[in-house]
Structure 1
Amino acid sequence: MCNINAYAEAIKVFKEKDPAEMAGNAGAVYDKENKKIFLKYLHANIEVDFPSGEIISDAKWELVKNDKVLILQYLTGTTGAMPRNTWIAFIQLPGGPHHHQPFVLEAINPLAEEFGNKIEEFRKIAPLFGATEIKMGDYGVSIPVFAKLPMAVCLRQGDDEFPPSANILFDAGAPLHLTTAALWVLGVELSRKLRGVNGQQYS
């Protein structure tokens, strides 16, 4: 999903920005003396060096290149707008209909297959990403992916007539922080991490 050019471009844009302004807009903290930005990403503590863009994390899962690009894109792209506390589906994002089916196939369906009939297992894993329960489906959570960009995941158990289903939703203000292409990657990475694809340690 991510290529070397995307990462290089993210670093280039990051270097050209004012670190204090980026931190302020992102809901992060800038340490001027050590030239580092501190923020949360999926409940993990993230440290970003300025201007190199080098990222250190205490996450229990591997911080892959997609994550690094997303963190840099969030820092450089956020407008500072607060969450709107209204959920929208990927298809409702700008240009969302053009990429909705791949999003369903790569992010949503795998969650349904993994947790649709194992909601109790999901209930134990979700809080490790900072999730709080919300009334949605048979079980739903809100996850503060970034300080100003929450996402929601909901599950519905299957029965004799219908298979289990899931959904990943975005705060309505998400386009004020990341492009639709970046939000697509973000949703896929959230799905992967909840499913343990990147080597999470849930102990």
Structure 2
Amino acid sequence: MERRWKRSLPRSAFFTAAPPAVLRCRDHFQDRIPVPGDDRRLFRIVGPVATEPFFRSPVRAVPFGNRHARGFSGTADMSDQFISVCTLEDRFEGDILMDALSQESIPAILRPFQETPYSALFVPQKGWGLILVPENMAPRAREVIDEVLREVRSAPVYSDPSDVDPLLWERLREADPETVCHNALVEYEDEHRAYVVPFLNAELLITPGEETTEVLDSPPYPRVDFELNLSLLHYLLEAENVALTRKWIGEKDIPSGEAFFRGLHRLPVDSLIELFGPDARLFRATAELLGGTPVDLGDAAYEFQVLPRVPLLVVLWEGDEEFEPALHILFDETVSTQFKALDTLWAFTGVFCRTLAAAARDLLPGEER
């Protein structure tokens, strides 16, 4: 059998073969195996594969009709008919469900719509993607999926600041204050052994030794909670001395943002649209209260210096007879150098949105709050 190796995407393999076949592939390579005969189909397997020349972990290829199917787990007979058992809201659901099915030895294919040429049509209407399993295993697969989704959706939401991973506090205690201050553009108080972090037009005192966060200004914007602590600790530990470019991008333009910021991880702007959509004047008053700088975009727009190296731009479009109101949050393109993980950036943006909404409600007459 003739074999050609070619560099490809990590942890993936593309090949054609006549079934049945157990095809072994090497990480970072694609294996194209010409086989006599007309019955050739495209296979794609994504997942852990052997990395040595003498393969120890064979992976059974299962044919499917769409070349954009992204992941496969388990083994199945080549004649199995795969059917859809779940429509996914986002990549997060896809990852946890594929892992759960793998643990139950149920072969599964992950087919994301965002990789197709028609993703702009499929994703808003049909969800982020599908999970497919052999038809004879579909009942068991649905049981596993339902159980996992119930656990995920009923899991307690972290709210107490003390729920933050103590290892983050430990890392900050061990960090060099001079380096942290240089990278994050914050100050360090030797007397209290604490960092003073500007947040919008307020200042926060972060004390690693006591594992506390205190708002130094009144009124109390923002409210100290789990997501604020999580955001601040990651910012202090991860920020880099990188100049802003002032090139604004949406959340889906951030690397991997297209897949992440969907479903449960959509930016929480709905409450802001309810507040500001009918009343751009309230948006302007709130933005100025929080130290925002007006920008000539939309019906109203303001730039907020939320953290020293993380500005946000909020653009509001008022609704009318033809269009619903809209509000967009934009990021400097360097944001991924200051927050390395998208879930941390999502938490940080949520803190900002809640702070903006709380400040706006304080400006409303008592009966409208």
1:104 Cα offset (Å): 7.6
Report what 1:191 is aligned to: 353
Report what 2:313 is aligned to: 152
- Structure with bigger helix share is 1
Which residue identity is paired with 1:164? Answer: P
1:103 Cα offset (Å): 7.0
Inter-CA distance 107–33: structure 2 relative to 1 (3 Å threshold) = same
Distance 2:361 2:322 in 1: 34
Distance 2:187 2:209 in 1: 15
Q: Deviations over 1:147-175 (max 9, x none)?
A: 11101111001111111001011111111
Distance 1:181 1:11 in 2: 18
- The equivalences for 1:12-51 within 5 A come to 12-51=170-209
Which residue identity is paired with 2:231? Answer: L
Q: TM-score, normalised by structure 1?
A: 0.88
Match of 1:55 among 189, 213, 227: 213
- The equivalences for 1:166-185 within 5 A come to 166-178=327-339, 179-185=341-347
- The equivalences for 1:65-144 within 5 A come to 65-102=226-263, 105-144=266-305
Distance 1:181 1:37 in 2: 24
Report what 2:166 is aligned to: 8
- State which structure, 1 or 2, has the greater radius of gyration over its C-alpha atoms: 2
Inter-CA distance 103–89: structure 2 relative to 1 (3 Å threshold) = farther
Which residue identity is paired with 2:203? Answer: N
Moved more, 156-165 or 95-104: 95-104
Distance 2:227 2:354 in 1: 12
Q: Is the 8 A contact 2:170 2:208 kept in 1?
A: no
5+ residue gaps, structure 1, are none
1:81 Cα offset (Å): 1.4
Distance 1:9 1:133 in 2: 39
Distance 2:178 2:352 in 1: 27
Distance 1:85 1:43 in 2: 20
SS at match of 2:358: coil
Moved more, 76-85 or 29-38: 29-38
SS at match of 2:196: strand
Distance 2:265 2:301 in 1: 17
Moved more, 102-111 or 70-79: 102-111
SS at match of 1:63: coil
SS at match of 1:194: helix
Identity of aligned residues (%): 22
Report what 1:161 is aligned to: 322
Distance 1:2 1:41 in 2: 21
5+ residue gaps, structure 2, are 1-156, 365-369
1:200 Cα offset (Å): 7.1
| Relative contact order, higher structure (CA 8 A, sep 6+) | 1
Q: Is the 8 A contact 2:269 2:327 kept in 1?
A: yes
Q: Is the 8 A contact 2:184 2:241 kept in 1?
A: yes
Distance 2:278 2:265 in 1: 18
Which residue identity is paired with 2:196? Answer: F
Inter-CA distance 70–191: structure 2 relative to 1 (3 Å threshold) = same
SS at match of 1:107: coil
Q: TM-score, normalised by structure 2?
A: 0.51
Inter-CA distance 202–16: structure 2 relative to 1 (3 Å threshold) = farther
Which residue identity is paired with 1:190? Answer: F
Inter-CA distance 9–118: structure 2 relative to 1 (3 Å threshold) = farther
Aligned residues: 202
Distance 1:30 1:132 in 2: 27
SS at match of 2:278: coil
1:34 Cα offset (Å): 3.4
SS at match of 2:303: strand
1:2 Cα offset (Å): 4.2
